[in-house]
């Protein structure tokens, strides 16, 4: 599972996964997605891991899919698999975001259970302007958190928005000064790690069953839409 595109550290019940392609603003390639999938599987199997903390190295959380090459079927399968694994993981997932949080990076952020954002974070969904479809179950998560009308505007217009807007629209739990992000995300993760794992897992499962009941359907519809656009 060793891959320098993903840094892994486990302490005090918290497994921290750091996206580590800082020269590419942590843009997602297949190697990074595979490393994440493997790490999530380890976190699920290890009873000592109670919380997953996802963050990015360098100047950004994640700039979305690496667009240096055209999208492929493998890209679609892997990015969707990461989203499904994050949502299905029976342990809380915290995302700590900063800098640009774009496209599939924003989609993975919304697959987390609690999001802590730095004040300077900038968000964007550019897929429509690029002629590709959204992934990550975003067609379920974004309307669930922000409402259908706002989801349509954010997806179709692709305009950037701020951390303050993201919080006002229900996309993030907390906004903190940039310099406080790491400490606050760690504190939140450690608080979650103190919960009874059975209790935390049941809360996550039931809330997702009710609040994101259409998540699986959204993944299937996104796959079909993406393949149609690529075809």
Average pLDDT over residues 213-218: 98
Distance of CA 153 to CAs 126, 146, 160, 161, Å? 12, 11, 11, 12
Residue 67 CA, distance from chain mean position: 18
Give me the catalytic one of 44, 73, 107, 159. Answer: 107
Does residue 1 surpass a pLDDT of 80? no
User: Which range of residues forms the domain containing residue 77?
Assistant: 6-179+197-230
110 and 141 in contact (C-beta within 8 Å)?
yes
Q: Tokens 């399968």 sit at which residue?
A: 77
167 near 174, Cβ under 8 Å?
Answer: yes
- In this structure, is residue 69 part of a structural domain? yes
| Cα–Cα distance for residue pair 31/5, rounded to 1 Å | 7
User: Would 1 be classed as within a structural domain?
Assistant: no
Cβ–Cβ < 8 Å for 102, 56: no
Residue 115: closest CA among 142, 88, 134: 142
Give the pLDDT of residue 124.
98
Q: What is the pLDDT of residue 69?
A: 78
Q: Is 90 in contact with 44 (CB distance < 8 Å)? A: yes
**Residue 23 forms part of a structural domain:** yes
Average of per-residue pLDDT across 223-231 = 92
Residue 185 lies in a domain: no
Would you say 66 and 29 are in contact if contact means Cβ atoms under 8 Å apart? yes
In a domain? residue 186: no
Distances (CA, A) of 203 to 42, 47, 70, 147: 21, 18, 39, 22
In a domain, 187, yes or no: no
8-state DSSP, 64: -
The phi, psi pair for 134, rounded to 5°, reads -70, 160
User: What integer pLDDT is reported at residue 67 of this predicted model?
Assistant: 87
How many domains is the chain partitioned into structurally?
1
Q: What is the pLDDT of residues 4-61, one digit of tens each?
A: 999 999 999 999 999 999 999 999 999 999 999 999 999 999 999 999 999 999 999 9
**pLDDT confidence of residue 111:** 98
66-105 tens-digit pLDDT: 988 778 899 999 999 999 999 999 999 999 999 999 999 9
pLDDT of 144-200, one tens digit each?
999 999 999 999 999 999 999 999 999 999 999 999 999 999 999 999 999 999 999
Residue 203 is assigned to a structural domain of this protein:
yes
Q: What is the pLDDT of residue 2?
A: 66
CB 1 within 8 A of CB 42: yes
Residue 225 has pLDDT above 60, yes or no: yes
User: Where does the pLDDT of residue 128 fall: very low under 50, low under 70, confident under 90, or very high at 90 and above?
Assistant: very high
Instruction: Collect all residues with Cβ–Cβ distance below 8 Å to 136 and sequence separation of at least 6.
Output: 79, 80, 82, 83, 104, 107, 108, 110, 111, 222
**Nearest-angstrom CA–CA distance, 25 and 6:** 13
184 as an active site residue: the answer is: no
Let me know if 127 is a catalytic residue.
yes
Which of the residues 73, 119, 127, 159 is marked catalytic? 127
**What pLDDT, on a 0 to 100 scale, did the predictor assign at position 231?**
76
| Dihedrals phi, psi of 85, to nearest 5 degrees | -65, -40
Averaged pLDDT for residues 207-211: 98
Across-strand partners of 124?
102
Domain annotation covers residue 191 = no
CATH number assigned to the domain comprising residue 64: 3.90.226.10
């Amino acid at each position: 599972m060793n891959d320098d595109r993903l840094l892994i550290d486990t302490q005090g019940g918290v497994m921290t996964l750091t996206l580590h392609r800082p020269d590419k603003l942590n843009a997602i390639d297949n190697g990074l997605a595979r490393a994440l999938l493997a790490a999530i599987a380890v976190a699920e199997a290890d009873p000592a891991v109670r919380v997953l903390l996802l963050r990015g190295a360098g100047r950004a959380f994640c700039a979305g899919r690496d667009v240096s090459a055209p999208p492929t079927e493998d890209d679609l399968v892997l990015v969707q698999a990461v989203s499904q694994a994050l949502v299905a993981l029976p342990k809380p997932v915290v995302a700590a975001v900063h800098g640009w949080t774009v496209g599939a990076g924003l989609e993975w952020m919304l697959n987390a259970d609690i999001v802590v954002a730095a004040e300077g974070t900038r968000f964007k969904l550019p897929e429509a302007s690029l002629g590709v479809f959204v992934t990550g179950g975003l067609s379920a998560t974004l309307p669930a958190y922000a409402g259908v009308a706002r989801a349509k505007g954010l997806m179709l217009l692709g305009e950037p928005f701020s951390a303050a807007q993201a919080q006002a629209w229900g996309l993030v739990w907390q906004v903190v000064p940039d310099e406080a992000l790491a400490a606050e995300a760690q504190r939140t993760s450690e608080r979650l790690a103190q919960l009874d794992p059975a209790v935390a897992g049941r809360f996550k499962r039931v809330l997702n069953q009710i609040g994101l009941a259409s998540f699986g359907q959204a993944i299937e519809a996104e796959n079909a839409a993406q393949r149609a656009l690529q075809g």
